[in-house]
Structures are given as structure tokens and as C-alpha cells.
Amino acid sequence: MSLNAVHILLTYRCTDACRHCFVFSGPHQMATFTQGRLHTVLDQLRRMPEVRWVYFEGGEPFLFHPMLVEAVSHATKLGLATAVVTNGYWITSERDVGLFLRPLVAAGLKRLQLSVDDVHKYRRLEHMRDQLLAQCSNHRLTLQFLGVDLPEPNAEPLEAREGRYVTSGEIMFRGRAALTLTPDQALWDWESFDECPHELLHAPMRVHIDPHGYVHICQGIVIGNVDGEPIDAVMEGYDPDAHPVVGPLLRGGPAALVQEYELDHEEGYADACHLCYMARSQLLERFPEQLGPPAVYGLREPKRRRRQDQPKPKPAPKANDEPATPG
């Protein structure tokens, strides 16, 4: 077992709906971890000593700051190193930065990863960067910048421009990016995408767990649910070759997914993830347990169905409603 990091998608909610978001996050998304589920998942990780790091991300995890602080504290008590990935919407002044960071540092946070690139809205981070670096340094908190290069002609690569990015590189066309950023891209023969170039699908070093409890091996590809069995059992039971989506991907990449299920396809795609995501979107109804949740594919979450024996709830009276007077 090579798993050494678990990424908790604390919420699908976000301040923004970035064009390249893998999981279709945005202000309209509601799904968020409960405190109880968070504690349960973190406690389960105690049975997996190979897992050293827990990342809290989303969506935008700072939107649920009290829960984030509590989760970092709980993970730290369990001996896990913690990191938070954020778009930095909360970095508005030196004072506010302290207000948000101090409780997290006191809870044991080790690493702060900040998405700063041309896709993210919060460009004012540029002005706060030195103050932020100083505060993180004072708190002995490692600050790292993440970025993706926009697929636009003549765009200067981030690394050349900034020199401080720990992760930068070409965008991957999955999630919202597969729909919004591909129309102007150069396309390559679909059959050329005969392997997954990014994820270690056979022996993953990381997985994502979302607010519904789904365990994702790549965003939108589900290998279990921590509501049904603990994460260590999910990983123990993971049989990549037998998984109806991972199996074909291992045998021949996204092209094999199309071939094995005889899916509709265009002649060209922007990258392997683009073909993979569009192919998977056609398989949602066939494999609802292995592909989801619907929101990650840009679909609405199904409404919770009322049980037949439950009466329809009456609307709460408005504050200024007069009680009915007998006539």
C-alpha cells in the first residue's frame, strides 16, 4: 500500500466558479462535511500509519473556518501533518490574515497552499504577498503557491514569471475545464490517449474523500464510500483491474474506456483528461456507484426523496403572520 496522503474535500462550496475547477465547485454548491463525519474519517486514518498527511481543500475550506480549525486540531492530536489549500479570498488585510491564521497555527497547521494564477480571481494577493510571507514565517507555517498555466496563446509560463511556485504546469482538462476551456484548443487523435498520464491508478499515493463520503481515485472516479466501510477497508478492497472504469483506463487509457463501452466520441481531444472526462460522463447512469457525485459532472444533485409515509412538511409561519382568529 503506497497511500501516504488523504485529501479531504471539506466542501464543494466556493466563493468562485473557476473555469478550470476539476470538481465544478462554486457558490451554488452546498455539499459540506459535517463535524461528525470529519471526526469519523480522521479517526479511521489512525489505522493507516502509512498516511502521514491530511490536506483540507474543496471548494474553499476557509468558508467553514471553525470546522476547519477543529479538524486540523483533531488531525494533529492523531499525529497527522496537516495542510490547507485555499484561493485566499480571506487575505484582505494584515489584520484579517492574522485573524484567520492564528487559530489554525495554534491547532497545529503545518502547510498553507495558495492558488495564485491567472485563473483565480483574487489577484490582490499580489499586493499582500510579502505580508503573508512574513506572517507565515513568524508562525513557522510553510507557505506554498500553486498555479496552472492558462491555455492561451503567448501566455508566459508561471514558473518563469514568479519563480516561487511549488506546483505549476499545464492545465488538465477535467471537470469544468473540459467544458469551458477546450473549444479553442489544439486537438489530438482520440486513439492516441492510451494511458492515464497523471494518476497512479494501480497503487495510489493519495485519494480524495468528499462531503458525501465518496473516496475518489481521480476526481469523479469513486472506489468506495466511508459511510459503508472505513477508509482502510476501502483501500484494502480496492481492485483496480476489476473496477469498471479504472480497469479500462489501466488497460489502455481513456481510449480503452471509449472502445470497451463503445461510447460516442469526437475525432480529437485536448488531452487525455478531456477524453476521459467526456467518456465518463456517458457512463454516469451505468455506473452510479463508481462515477459521481453528479455535481462533479456539472449536474444537479438529485433532490432527497420524501418517504411515502412521511407527511409533507408545512411551511414555517412568517414572523409577522397573525395567528388565525376563530370567526
Residues that bind ligand SF4 (CB under 6 A): 174, 196, 198-199, 218, 221, 249, 254, 272-273, 276-277
Which is closer to ligand SF4, CB of 249 or CB of 296?
249
CB of 174 to ligand SF4, least distance (A): 4
| Contact (Cβ atoms closer than 8 angstroms) between residue 68 and residue 104 | yes
Pairing of strands 165-167, 142-146: parallel
CB of 265 to ligand SF4, least distance (A): 14
| Contact (Cβ atoms closer than 8 angstroms) between residue 232 and residue 294 | no
Helix (H) or strand (E) holding 221, with range, is: strand 221-225
CB of 302 to ligand SF4, least distance (A): 24
Q: Quote helix, strand, coil % in the chain, to nearest 5.
A: 30, 15, 50
CB of 108 to ligand SF4, least distance (A): 31
CB of 309 to ligand SF4, least distance (A): 42
Which is closer to ligand SF4, CB of 40 or CB of 281?
281
CB of 220 to ligand SF4, least distance (A): 8
Write the CB contacts of 120 (distance below 8 Å, at least 6 apart in sequence).
16, 18, 87, 88
Helix (H) or strand (E) holding 161, with range, is: helix 158-162
Which is closer to ligand SF4, CB of 18 or CB of 276?
276
Cα–Cα distance for residue pair 257/273, rounded to 1 Å:
12
Write the CB contacts of 315 (distance below 8 Å, at least 6 apart in sequence).
none
Which is closer to ligand SF4, CB of 74 or CB of 174?
174
Which is closer to ligand SF4, CB of 178 or CB of 226?
178
CB of 249 to ligand SF4, least distance (A): 6
Cα–Cα distance for residue pair 141/154, rounded to 1 Å:
35
Cα–Cα distance for residue pair 118/129, rounded to 1 Å:
15
Which is closer to ligand SF4, CB of 215 or CB of 273?
273
Q: What is the side-by-side order of every strand in the sheet holding 221-225?
A: 165-167, 142-146, 111-115, 81-86, 53-57, 5-9, 206-209, 214-218, 221-225
Which is closer to ligand SF4, CB of 73 or CB of 180?
180
CB of 172 to ligand SF4, least distance (A): 6
| Residues recorded for the chain | 327
Which is closer to ligand SF4, CB of 116 or CB of 276?
276
Please provide residue 94's backbone torsions phi and psi, each rounded to the nearest 5 degrees.
-60, -40
